[in-house]
Amino acid sequence: MSSLRLETVGAAAPVQDALVRDWQHVHNLIIPPHFLSLDDVRERSTRNHLEVAYLGDTLVGCSTVRPPTSESPAATVIARVLPAYRERGFGTQMYERGLARARELGAESIETNVLGSNPEGLRFAKRRGFVEIETYVLPGDTIPYIDLRLES
Ligand SMILES: CC(C)(COP(=O)(O)OP(=O)(O)OC[C@H]1O[C@@H](n2cnc3c(N)ncnc32)[C@H](O)[C@@H]1OP(=O)(O)O)[C@@H](O)C(=O)NCCC(=O)NCCS
């Protein structure tokens, strides 16, 4: 299987604007009801660990690790792969890397979040031991989000 090149948004890389744009592109394509501006992404990169995945120079996906906090001891790990690159093991590579980082950050439990219109995401999470804990529709939205927790 091919290995991804993973770049961190917000690290001291010379191509930060491109990383922010690429992370935003993948996020907004996969989660259209939750549009994030470039400034939103920059702000998130100060709180969360955001990565962009490339195959050579080709954009493949992005990920989020939201660290545990004193209010919420669970970390959130989300992998996103562009539809054209799915079912080649990239989502697993990104998810496992995010999981390892969440554990390094001291997470007592791991959660993820899937948009209800992404059945592949729900199946992927459940196959890796996540169980549904909450389904909700945000104000003004019609598609539910599903929160899941890793049980193992
Ligand atoms: C979830 C998501 C990241 C998976 O990405 P992906 O790149 O397709 O993930 P993988 O290729 O690693 O695994 C997907 C399936 O393809 C299978 N697969 C992997 N390599 C394969 C290959 N070469 N041939 C056929 N199938 C393959 C895997 O076994 C896996 O099946 P399983 O989930 O039943 O175990 C992607 O569907 C996505 O971005 N969804 C929207 C975002 C989301 O909901 N994320 C979930 C929260 S983590």
95 CA to centre of ligand 1 in angstroms: 10
Q: Is 146 in the pocket of ligand 1 (CB under 6 A)?
A: no
33-47 pLDDT, tens digit each: 999 999 999 999 999
Query: What's the pLDDT tens digit per position in 13-70?
Result: 667 899 999 999 999 999 999 999 999 999 999 999 999 999 999 999 999 999 999 8
Size of the chain, expressed as the number of residues it contains: 152
Q: 90 in ligand 1 pocket by Cβ < 6 Å? A: yes
Distance from Cα 112 to the centre of ligand 1, integer Å: 15
CB 26: neighbour CB atoms within 10 A?
A: 19
Q: What is the pTM of this model?
A: 0.95
Domains defined for the chain, CATH in brackets: 5-108 (3.40.630.30)
Give one DSSP letter per residue of 58-87, joined into a string: EEEEEEEEE---SS--EEEEEEEE-GGG-S
Q: Where are the alpha helices (DSSP H) in the chain?
A: 16-30, 38-47, 90-104, 119-127
For residues 114 and 33, what is the distance between their CA atoms, to the nearest angstrom? Answer: 12
DSSP annotation of 118 reads -
